[in-house]
Amino acid sequence: MHGVGVFAAETIAAGRKVIEYAGERRTWAQDARRARERERHGEPKNVYRAHIRRRWVIDGTAGGTGAEFINHSCDPNLGARAIRDRLLLFSLRRIRRGEELSWDYRLSGRAKVKCRCGSRKCRGTLNVK
């Protein structure tokens, strides 16, 4: 697991907006430059970015809401929806109080990232096949 995760403080009904994935919005080119700068300065390599539409990246390390700490699962209880250039996470089913929140990162790109979610539905990678 990348992080310790986020857990439901109360029961959440199915179909409810749970949280917005927020932070600094950048183009892919701006994000690549920022990543190179961070690497040169020896800053942590933790990646808390989500893409929205085809052009934009949201960096949760800069002004995030806590959604950046939600772990991946191949059988998630949250689903992401891009609505007017915002990324919102909605409950896919009823979520019990104390249950860990998760969403499918659906990474793209050639470099495969191994999945360790432990779900019976695990596809073995965070990447979309």
Element containing residue 89 per DSSP (H, E): strand 86-91
Spatial neighbors of 21 by CB under 8 A, at least 6 apart, are 50, 58, 60, 64, 65, 67, 68, 80, 87, 88, 89
> What is the reported pLDDT for 1?
40
Structural domain boundaries in the chain = 1-129
> What is the reported pLDDT for 71?
93
Q: How confident is the model at residue 56 (pLDDT cuts 50, 70, 90)?
A: confident
Tens of pLDDT, residue by residue over 67-96, are 999 999 999 999 999 888 889 999 999 999
Q: pTM score, two decimals?
A: 0.84
Question: What amino acid is encoded at 79 in this protein?
Answer: G
Half-sphere exposure of residue 75: CA atoms within 13 angstroms, side-chain side? 7
CATH number of the domain at 1-129, out of 1.10.1040.10, 1.10.1380.10, 3.60.15.10, 2.170.270.10?
Answer: 2.170.270.10
Lowest model confidence (mean pLDDT) among 91-95, 104-108, 113-117: 104-108
> What is the reported pLDDT for 62?
82
User: Above 70 in pLDDT, residue 2?
Assistant: no
> What is the reported pLDDT for 3?
62
